[in-house]
Amino acid sequence: MKKKKENIDYALYLCTDRGLMSTDTVEEAVRQAALGGVTMVQLREKDCSAKEFYETALCVKKITDQFQIPLIINDRVDIALAVGADGVHVGQSDLPASEARRLLGPDKIVGVSARNVEQAKKAAADGADYLGVGAMFATGTKQDAKVTSREELCRIRAAVELPIVAIGGIKKDNILQLEGTGINGVAVVSAIIAAPDIKAAATELAERVKELREQ
């Protein structure tokens, strides 16, 4: 990553999921998405060994470095450290954000999933750099994810100063429902990764996010 933490563009945040990809490799999916305009990438690999996660992260980092966009590792702080990623994203069932921060130091990015004001405030106190808030819409990717209401999103926005990335079931047809919430960007999985043309899907979503943020 060539950008300092305060200059990160959270606009269109891709989360990977190798089970949903329309490409053969995670690297190729990320490359296509970067060509289309995603501004950061989170490698989220729940269904492979740590070795495979590590090796994939090494490959994907070459792509994100080439496009000068941050690479975030889901949950595994050790893999983030091993590959020199730009940070980690931790959910409420992962290593505590405060421990992730302690292990990564002040310069790396720590993102935290929050679905209510209490979790958002805790994350801010624990040293999070940004929040992933959702699921905003029902989603097939995380079937157990509870939906966060637009009202709760606005309460979180009012409660913390951190950048907020909305996540969960966001696609081109519903993204503009997030207008006026003050979010800094959207995170998507299947709307990009499962698209037959990943680059085109990312390009279109990037345009919609631009509209959203210009309101």
Residue 37: which of 81, 67, 16 has the closest Cα?
67
Looking at 9, 65, 99, 126, which residue binds its own copies (CB under 8 A)?
Answer: 99
Q: Which stretch binds its own copies (CB under 8 A): 39-47, 93-101, 156-164, 205-213?
A: 93-101
Determine the longest span between alpha carbons in the chain, in angstroms: 44
User: Which candidate in 18, 31, 108, 113 is catalytic?
Assistant: 113
Neighbours of 200 (CB within 10 A): 14
Would you call 102 a catalytic residue per the annotation? no
Report if residue 50 touches its own copies, rule: CB under 8 A. yes
User: Which candidate in 18, 31, 44, 208 is catalytic?
Assistant: 44
Would you call 142 a catalytic residue per the annotation? yes
Report if residue 65 touches its own copies, rule: CB under 8 A. no
Asked if 168 and 135 count as a contact pair (C-beta separation under 8 A), the reply is yes
Report if residue 81 touches its own copies, rule: CB under 8 A. yes
Would you call 113 a catalytic residue per the annotation? yes
Looking at 66, 68, 92, 149, which residue binds its own copies (CB under 8 A)?
Answer: 92
Query: Shortest approach of its own copies to residue 94 CB, angstroms?
Result: 5
How many Cα neighbours within 13 Å face the side chain of 97? 24
User: Peptide bond preceding 135: is omega within 30 degrees of 0, i.e. cis?
Assistant: yes
Query: Shortest approach of its own copies to residue 101 CB, angstroms?
Result: 11
CA dihedral 118, 172, 206, 212 (to 10 degrees): -60
Query: Which of the residues are catalytic?
Result: 44, 113, 142
